[in-house]
């Protein structure tokens, strides 16, 4: 094989799987793309927004984004919606009925699984949705295929009158490779929306008639799957093991076993059983390599195909070559290849030492994600950590980090918007032991609009007693600061409606006097508001109103510094949790009563500090001051 030529001309580019999906959709004539941001799928819409021929939007949640896409499809435009795996849980209500109705123009749902859990609350397998909703599922293996399969997905959708799921994983979305691409063709339907109540109004009567049609459709796609060139047997000279692969596992297997026969499933549901039987006849043993759940394994065993799967391969995480090699060597009775030995580590670490990095075997402290320097959430968690006798339900966003050190100020986190309902349940379901517990819910602006508002309405309607901290930082922070209805800008950065959270909370039934807007850098005000509201047995909302430090609404101020002569080593400022505050030395002193106290003297990393002025408010001896003032002294 010759080397790939340089990127001559304009039709080859180094792009991520996410960009490739957007490009593929655009070329397929897609007219509308909608999404709620979610790692690792966020960039699909960010790239889609660069194409003026497509209408694009940040929807308020995944269910709405799918409904918008369904509407566009029925209106005669090819439509795409994109989401992370857990997003399809939210959108599934629309999917499960729309699959009965079918589509108008092509409808593609790109869903990205976070295999290996780089930034999600679970590791669920979206391939289930193909089975559950009886829709075809395409699995690209790299960026080039992400581009091609997106176009194929639109074609399949129209050919078989079905929504199509394009299943991605982190190793597709966030991997860049060389993609050869083409140009856009216009594909919208000439006739526009066609009234068809016997198909589009999903009452029981209609659904009853549509169900057999859906199963017929599934059988038809299954026959197509047997002959589709998306499902290919690739011959190989080493027939001791044949592999069944789909998506990124194809690349892993090909790399580890270049000479093994295999089947690459591009259209992995409905399953092409006969084609897999054909492969089975060519090899000594068959191994199915599928990440997360043993889905194909169970289905193939059920039709009597002998194979191995999760008996020899792990259930969790990626099945990369270094995972496959020892498992297959054991199967063949060969010497198991050594993986890299962990580093010898003579260093001493305090409890909870020793700490071995699970990914690398190194004896190095963990470096978990932290809140940013000057983050507006720092003051909030500082206050929450100082209030006693609380149970705090959290939510999904940067502020989930408040569960960590030094705050340890969250007790639950489950899914988008859950802080509301869970807090209400903690209140209504309390037993005598918790009679005086203060119930607090913490939720960000985006998450509140995504799925939290309904929970608040439930609290007010049912006379709940929860103090809600609504952290409005005017962005979807965790996914990179995307705009939303709280930022006052649309996906293109153009001016848009800006939600008024005070009015919204009032409309949802919170009494006006129980709503406070607070600057989270004003620690005393914030603390007083919080302390007062937890005492009042009614729903109340404290809205914090300072922007995410990573978006352009944030204005950095001159850096602060620590006056060494004044610092007493009390360590109060460390309770803020700002990464710019570093310990320079520790000292143990014996107090007059004989007890020991550890002092921590600090400095501020001036290159990182943006002068938010939060830490001086925790400093008794006034040792923290602007760097410029300190120099003048």
Partner 1 sequence: MSENKITNILVAGIGGQGVMTAAEILSQTALSQGFDVKKTEVAGMAQRGGVVTSHVRFGTRVLSPAIPPGEADILVGFEPAEALRWISHLRPCGVAMINTTRQEPPVVSLGLYDYPQDPISEIAATGVEYHAFDAGAIARELGNFKLVNTVMLGAISELLPFPAEALKNEILDRFRGRKPTLVEINEKAFELGRQASL
Specify whether the CB–CB gap between 206 and 175 falls below 8 A. Answer: no
- Taking the complex as a whole, the smallest distance from the CB of residue 40 to partner 1 amounts, in Å, to 9
CA-CA distance, 481 to 474, in Å (whole number)? Answer: 8
Site string for partner 1, 605-624 (x = CB under 8 A): --x-----------------
Q: Is 509 in the site for partner 1 (CB under 8 A)?
A: no
Q: Calculate the CA 103 to chain-centre distance.
A: 27
Residue closer to partner 1 by CB (options 134, 171) is 171
Site for partner 1 in 478-497 (CB under 8 A): 478, 480
CA angle 448, 454, 460 (to 5 degrees): 105
CA-to-CA distance for 495 and 508, rounded, in angstroms?
Answer: 26
- Cis amide prior to 406 (ω within 30 degrees): yes
Is residue 556 within the footprint of partner 1 (CB under 8 A)? no
Torsion on CA atoms 246, 250, 251, 253, rounded to nearest 10: 140
In the bound state with partner 1, the residue whose beta carbon lies nearer, of 500 and 598, is 598
598 binds partner 1 (CB under 8 A): yes
Quickly count: other Cβ atoms within 10 Å of residue 364's Cβ: 14
Among 289-297, 354-362, 451-459, 535-543, the segment contacting partner 1 (CB under 8 A): 354-362
454 binds partner 1 (CB under 8 A): no
Question: Does the protein bind partner 1 through residue 583 (CB under 8 A)?
Answer: yes
Q: Which string of DSSP letters, residue by residue, matches 513-572?
A: GGEEEE-TT-HHHHHHHHHHHHHSSS-EEEEE----TTSTT----PPEEE-TTT-----G
- Tell me the closest approach of the beta carbon of residue 322 to partner 1, in angstroms: 4
What are the helix (H) ranges across 392-487?
418-428, 445-447, 453-461
Beta-bridged to residue 83, according to DSSP, are 111
Q: Tell me: does residue 218 bind partner 1 (CB under 8 A).
A: no
Phi (first) and psi of residue 129, to 5 degrees = -65, -30
Which stretch, 219-227, 364-372, 445-453, 511-519, contacts partner 1 (CB under 8 A)? 364-372
Using rule CB under 8 A, residue 343 touches partner 1: yes
Helices (H), 410-499: 418-428, 445-447, 453-461
Residue 345 binding partner 1, by CB under 8 A: yes
Q: How far apart are the first and last CA of the chain?
A: 69
Question: CB-wise, 45 or 378, nearer to partner 1?
Answer: 378
Subset of 242-281 contacting partner 1 (CB under 8 A): 248, 251-252, 254-256, 258
| Residue from 197, 212, 358, 368 binding partner 1 (CB under 8 A) | 368
Least Å distance, CB 324 to partner 1, is 10
The reply on whether position 8 binds partner 1 by CB under 8 A is: no
Count CB-CB contacts under 10 A for residue 564. 12
Interaction mask 69-108, partner 1, x per CB under 8 A: ----------------------------------------
Which range binds partner 1 by CB under 8 A, 4-12, 260-268, 518-526, 553-561?
4-12
Cβ of residue 250: shortest distance to partner 1, in angstroms?
A: 8
Of 6-14, 204-212, 409-417, 514-522, the segment contacting partner 1 by CB under 8 A is 6-14
Contact 589/596 with Cβ under 8 angstroms?
Answer: yes
Q: Which is nearer to partner 1, 345 or 457 (CB)?
A: 345
- For residues 526-555, which are near partner 1 according to CB under 8 A? 550
Site for partner 1 in 126-165 (CB under 8 A): 142
Q: Shortest approach of partner 1 to residue 163 CB, angstroms?
A: 29
Q: Helix or strand or coil: residue 4? A: coil
Give least dist CB 608 to partner 1, A: 9
Write a three-state SS string for 198-216.
HHHCCCHHHHHHHHHHHHH
Binding mask 24-63 for partner 1 (x = CB under 8 A): ---------------x------------------------
CA 159 to chain centre: 32
* Out of 199, 240, 277, 355, the residue judged to bind partner 1 by CB under 8 A: 355
d(CA 23, CA 578): 40
């Amino acid at each position: 094989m010759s080397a790939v030529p340089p990127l001559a001309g304009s039709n080859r580019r180094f792009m991520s799987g996410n960009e490739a999906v957007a490009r593929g959709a655009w070329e397929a004539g897609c007219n509308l793309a909608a999404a709620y941001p979610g790692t690792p799928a966020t960039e699909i819409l960010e790239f889609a927004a660069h194409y003026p021929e497509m209408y694009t939007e940040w929807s308020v949640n995944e269910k709405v984004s799918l409904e918008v896409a369904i509407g566009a499809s029925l209106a005669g435009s090819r439509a795409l919606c994109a989401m992370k795996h857990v997003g399809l849980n939210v959108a599934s209500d629309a999917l499960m009925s729309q699959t009965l109705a079918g589509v108008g123009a092509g409808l593609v749902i790109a869903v990205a699984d976070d295999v290996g859990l780089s930034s999600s609350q679970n590791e669920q397998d979206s391939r289930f949705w193909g089975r559950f909703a009886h829709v075809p599922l395409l699995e690209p293996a790299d960026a080039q295929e992400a581009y091609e399969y997106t176009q194929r997905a639109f074609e399949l959708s129209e050919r078989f009158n079905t929504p199509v799921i394009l299943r991605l994983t982190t190793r597709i979305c966030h991997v860049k490779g060389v993609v050869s691409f083409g140009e856009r063709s216009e594909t919208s339907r000439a006739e526009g929306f066609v009234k068809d109540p016997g198909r589009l109004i999903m009452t029981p009567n209609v659904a009853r008639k549509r169900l057999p049609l859906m199963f017929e459709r599934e059988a038809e796609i299954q026959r197509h799957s047997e002959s589709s060139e998306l499902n290919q047997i690739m011959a190989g000279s080493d027939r001791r093991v044949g592999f069944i692969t789909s998506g990124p596992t194809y690349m892993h297997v090909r790399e580890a076993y270049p000479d093994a026969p295999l089947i690459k499933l591009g259209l992995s549901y409905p399953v092409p059983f006969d084609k897999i039987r054909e492969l089975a006849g060519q090899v000594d043993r068959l191994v199915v390599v599928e990440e997360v759940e043993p889905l194909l394994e169970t289905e193939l065993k059920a039709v009597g195909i002998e194979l191995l799967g999760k008996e020899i391969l792990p259930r969790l995480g990626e099945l990369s070559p270094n995972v496959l090699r020892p498992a297959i060597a054991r199967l063949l009775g060969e010497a198991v290849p050594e993986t890299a030995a962990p580093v010898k580590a003579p260093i001493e670490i305090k409890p909870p030492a020793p700490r071995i990095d699970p990914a690398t075997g190194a004896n190095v402290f963990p470096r978990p994600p932290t809140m940013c320097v000057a983050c507006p959430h720092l003051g909030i968690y500082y206050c929450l950590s100082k209030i006693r006798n609380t149970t705090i339900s959290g939510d999904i966003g940067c502020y989930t980090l408040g569960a960590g050190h030094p705050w340890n100020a969250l007790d639950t986190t489950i899914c988008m918007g859950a802080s509301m309902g869970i807090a209400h349940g903690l209140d209504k379901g309390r037993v005598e032991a918790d009679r005086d517990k203060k119930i607090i819910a913490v939720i960000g602006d985006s998450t509140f609009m995504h799925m939290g508002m309904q929970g608040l309405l439930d609290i007010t309607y049912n006379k709940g007693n929860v103090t809600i901290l609504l952290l409005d930082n005017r962005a979807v922070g965790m996914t990179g600061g995307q705009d939303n209805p709280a930022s006052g800008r649309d996906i293109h950065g153009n001016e848009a409606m800006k939600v008024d959270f005070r009015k919204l909370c009032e409309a949802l039934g919170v009494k006006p006097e129980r709503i406070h807007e607070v600057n989270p850098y004003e620690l005393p005000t914030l603390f007083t508001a919080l302390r007062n509201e937890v005492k009042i047995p009614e729903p109340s909302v404290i809205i914090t109103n300072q922007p995410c430090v990573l978006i352009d609404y944030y204005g950095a101020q001159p850096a602060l510094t620590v006056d060494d002569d004044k610092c007493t080593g009390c360590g109060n400022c460390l309770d803020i949790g700002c990464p710019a505050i570093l310990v320079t030395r520790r000292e143990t002193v014996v107090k007059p009563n004989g007890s020991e106290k550890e002092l921590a003297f600090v400095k501020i990393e001036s290159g990182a500090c943006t002068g938010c002025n939060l830490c001086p408010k925790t400093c008794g001896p006034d040792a923290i001051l602007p760097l410029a003032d300190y120099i003048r002294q």
